[in-house]
């Protein structure tokens, strides 16, 4: 249905161009830099395209210009890729988005009910962590990003039911939530540096862990919308408890030393400090969850 | 707007750390670098880490802070 619409639209858009190209074919002016390789072409269109394409290609001047233009474009793309890779490690980011539906389902279930899960270790494959698709304990960035966006939309919805909505509020909510996220990640990084923890937690891992609380916030606000304040408080309490347990069990393996992670209570100032740090990070999550949502439910 | 507040707070905090003078202030409260080069042990401890952090922030951010502060001054003069 929209296939025919698509090609119809393209026909309407291209026909004036064809007429122009037909009249300017001997003035050797390249009006199309790249070949149109889209699959939405009808038969009539293809005939016209082939006719115009042959005219275009047989002209050596426009041939040269087309080749130069495409090489310039590929050069620019290469340079941008190289420079962007220096600031944002794109290949590392791709690992965090290698998820599938089963993983997302299991992880969401784990975020609201982490009490039955036994094995919290991330499995490795020759010294690199396995992609999140294959291991439910691995952190990912898909759930935090989606939860963040959903949280902004849900907060807009909640404000709309109270007649407090205006389009600028969405941007303000987004930027303030983002700022709190940045502050939290910086605080966790600072405290990890001060306690000299040798851990393989990267910054992106910390962003992922801090983003998991948005799931609980969405559940809280939605149940607050459906069931009123009592529903909000109950579901927020449940989600806070589960995020607390989730964070402690996940971070314990990463921050504490091996012996303490297995459950053996190792005495010593170092491990005690690390345990306090883990509990502080986990306790900050419910605080943020309440702080960012209480003004949405009246 | 909240992002702008974050940038403001970050610039103010970095300025605050950069202003701590090594001899006149940090030595008086026992937070100078040469007083904290302890043993050759494995665990530096929080205080040593903080002192190292302050010293490295001061060394690294001295020149960029001049630039950032000048930009802030110019912007505040122009736009109030």
pLDDT digits (tens, 9 = 90+) for A127-138: 777 777 788 888
* Mean pLDDT, residues A114-141: 82
**Is A207 a residue whose pLDDT tops 80?**
yes
**Is A58 a residue whose pLDDT tops 80?**
no
**Confidence band (pLDDT; 50, 70, 90) for A251?**
confident
Query: Closest residue of A to B53, CA-based?
Result: A194
Contact residues, chain B, for A194 at CB < 8 Å: 46, 49-50, 53
Instruction: For residue A124, give the DSSP letter.
Output: E
Query: Closest residue of B to A177, CA-based?
Result: B2
Contact residues, chain B, for A187 at CB < 8 Å: none
Q: Are A179 and A72 spatial neighbours (Cβ–Cβ below 8 Å)? A: no
pLDDT of residue A262: 59
d(C-alpha A22, C-alpha A1), whole Å = 31
d(C-alpha A213, C-alpha A51), whole Å = 58
d(C-alpha A37, C-alpha A49), whole Å = 11
Residues 4-63 of A with CB under 8 A from B: none
Chain B touched by A270 (CB under 8 Å): yes
The mean predicted confidence, pLDDT, of chain A is 79
CB contact under 8 A, B46 and A194: yes
Q: Return the residue in A180, A196, A270, A291 with the most chain B beta carbons within 10 A, the one to mutate for interface testing.
A: A196
CB contact under 8 A, B2 and A175: yes
Chain centroid to Cα B72, Å, comes to: 18
**Is A29 a residue whose pLDDT tops 60?**
no
**Is A196 a residue whose pLDDT tops 80?**
no
- ipTM of the predicted structure? 0.84
pLDDT greater at residue B64 or residue A14: B64
pLDDT of residue A222: 92
Residue A240 CA: distances (Å) to CA of A85, A219, A285, A297, B51:
37, 11, 7, 17, 36
pLDDT greater at residue A57 or residue A77: A77
pLDDT greater at residue B39 or residue A179: A179
Whether the model clears a pTM of 0.90, i.e. scores above it, the answer is no
**Is A238 a residue whose pLDDT tops 90?**
yes
Q: How far is A95 from chain B (nearest CA, A)?
A: 28
DSSP string, A249-270: HHHHHHHS-HHHHTT----SHH
Q: Return the residue in B6, B43, B44 with the most chain A beta carbons within 10 A, the one to mutate for interface testing.
A: B6
Closest CB to B49: pick one of A172, A178, A193: A193
pLDDT of residue A3: 46
Bridge partners for A128 per DSSP: A125
């Amino acid at each position: 249905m929209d296939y025919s619409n698509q090609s119809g639209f393209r026909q309407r858009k291209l026909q004036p161009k064809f007429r122009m190209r037909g009249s300017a074919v001997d003035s050797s002016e390249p009006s199309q830099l790249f070949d149109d390789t889209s699959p939405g072409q009808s038969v009539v269109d293809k005939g016209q395209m082939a006719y115009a394409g042959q005219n275009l290609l047989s002209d050596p001047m426009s041939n040269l210009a087309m080749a130069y233009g495409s090489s310039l474009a590929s050069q620019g793309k290469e340079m941008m890729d190289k420079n962007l890779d220096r600031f944002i490690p794109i290949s590392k980011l791709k690992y965090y988005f290698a998820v599938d539906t089963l993983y997302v389902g299991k992880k969401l279930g784990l975020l609201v009910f982490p009490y039955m899960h036994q094995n919290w270790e991330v499995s490795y494959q020759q010294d690199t962590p396995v992609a999140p698709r294959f291991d439910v304990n691995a952190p990912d960035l898909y759930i935090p990003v989606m939860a963040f966006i959903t949280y902004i939309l849900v907060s807009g919805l909640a404000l709309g039911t109270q007649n407090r909505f205006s389009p600028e509020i969405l941007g303000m909510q987004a930027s303030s939530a983002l700022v709190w996220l940045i502050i939290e990640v910086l605080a966790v990084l600072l405290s990890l540096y001060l306690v000299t923890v040798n851990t393989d937690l990267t910054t992106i891992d910390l962003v992922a862990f801090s983003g998991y609380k948005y799931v609980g916030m969405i559940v809280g606000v939605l149940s607050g919308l459906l069931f009123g304040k009592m529903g909000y408080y109950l579901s927020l309490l449940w989600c806070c408890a589960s995020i607390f347990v989730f964070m402690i069990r996940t971070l314990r393996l990463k921050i504490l030393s091996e012996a303490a992670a297995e459950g053996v209570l190792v005495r010593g100032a170092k491990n005690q400090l690390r345990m306090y740090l883990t509990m502080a990070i986990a306790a900050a999550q419910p605080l943020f969850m309440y702080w960012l949502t209480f003004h949405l439910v009246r | 707007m909240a992002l702008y507040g974050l940038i403001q707070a970050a610039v103010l905090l970095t300025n605050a750390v950069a202003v701590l003078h090594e001899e006149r202030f940090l030595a008086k409260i026992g937070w100078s670098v040469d007083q904290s080069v302890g043993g050759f042990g494995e665990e530096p401890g929080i205080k040593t880490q903080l002192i190292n952090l302050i010293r490295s922030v001061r060394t690294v951010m001295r020149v960029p802070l001049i630039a950032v502060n000048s930009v802030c001054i110019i912007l505040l003069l122009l736009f109030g």
